[in-house]
Amino acid sequence: SRWYAERDFPKLLKEDQTIRTYLHRRLSHAAVAKVEIERMPSKIVVTVHTARPGVVIGKRGAEVDKLRDELAVLTNSEVSVNVEEIKRPELNARLVADNVAHQIRQRISFRRAMKRAVQSAMRAGAEGIRIQCAGRLGGAEIARTEGYNEGRVPLHTLRADIDYAHLDARTTYGTVGVKCWIFKGEIVEDRFGRTYSAGPAK
């Protein structure tokens, strides 16, 4: 969120949360990684970061227009919706965790799901990835935690550009938590004071 408020901060913060929850549910099939909210005096600007922009926009922009109208009713304000495409979804922790959680819900082996995600991320140029699943894995009686990793994921290095996400997969035998860390490279500063990731492009 990008806005500032003095009096109505709790109300606006709750409204932001309502917008995000609504969009993630409404666009659950559209691979939405992030929702940015910017507030202006006259309207709210919502930017949806997705790996499948065509699904969000729809034929001739029909879906995005419908979405804008729904958000206007939800917030009782004028809303503008922008759609940003994620070029490399294999390097986005939320999308990777969402993909693994979806496969677990479809009763695909959690080990196979984790291994596929790790291989895809490394092929896409990640310097390291770690995925962890916890719960009644495979319907086991006793809950446990299992993980799969490749490359390096330096969690104690402040310069490290690490993307993290945590999602739940609700299955018939209980909730399985999925965590994902993706190391994209170290954040370095050039001679003009600008910072950028030394790893692959986001």
Residue 145 pLDDT > 70: yes
The mean pLDDT of 136-147, rounded to a whole number, is: 94
Q: What is the pLDDT of residues 23-37, one digit of tens each?
A: 999 998 888 999 999
What is the average per-residue pLDDT within 193-199?
A: 62
pLDDT at 200 over 60: no
Confidence of residue 194 (pLDDT cuts 50, 70, 90): low
Return residue ranges of the chain for CATH 3.30.300.20.
9-85
Q: What is the pLDDT of residue 202?
A: 43
Contacts of 51 (CB under 8 A, 6+ apart): 31, 33, 85, 86, 89, 92, 95
- The rounded mean pLDDT for the chain is 90
Residue 135 backbone class (left: φ over 0; alpha: ψ -120 to 50; beta: rest) = left
Secondary structure of residue 107 in the 3-state scheme: coil
- Report how far apart the first and last C-alpha atoms of the chain are (Å, whole number): 20
Gap between the Cα atoms of 184 and 153, Å rounded: 9
State what percent of residues in the chain have pLDDT above 90: 69
Q: What is the CATH number of domain 9-85?
A: 3.30.300.20
At 82-127, the pLDDT tens digits run 999 999 999 999 999 999 999 999 999 999 999 999 999 999 999 9
- Determine the pLDDT at residue 164: 96
> Please, where in the chain does CATH 3.30.1140.32 lie?
89-197
Q: What are phi and psi of 171, to 5 degrees?
A: -115, 175
Chain-centroid distance, C-alpha 60: 26
pTM: 0.84
Average pLDDT over residues 61-78: 90
CA distances in angstroms from 156 to 160, 178, 199, listed in the order given: 8, 21, 17
pLDDT at 201: 45
- Give me the helices (H) in the chain, please: 9-26, 53-57, 62-75, 93-105, 110-124
Q: Which SS3 state, helix, strand or coil, does residue 121 take?
A: helix
Question: If we measure between CA atoms, which residue out of 50, 49, 53 comes closest to residue 37?
Answer: 49
pLDDT tens for residues 156-179?
Answer: 988 899 999 999 999 999 999 999
Which is more confident, 192 or 62? 62
Of 1.20.120.1630, 3.40.640.10, 3.30.70.1140, 3.30.1140.32, the CATH number of 89-197 is 3.30.1140.32
- Give me the pLDDT at residue 197, please: 65
CA distance 121 to 197: 17
Q: How far apart (Å, rounded) are the C-alpha atoms in residues 48 and 42?
A: 20
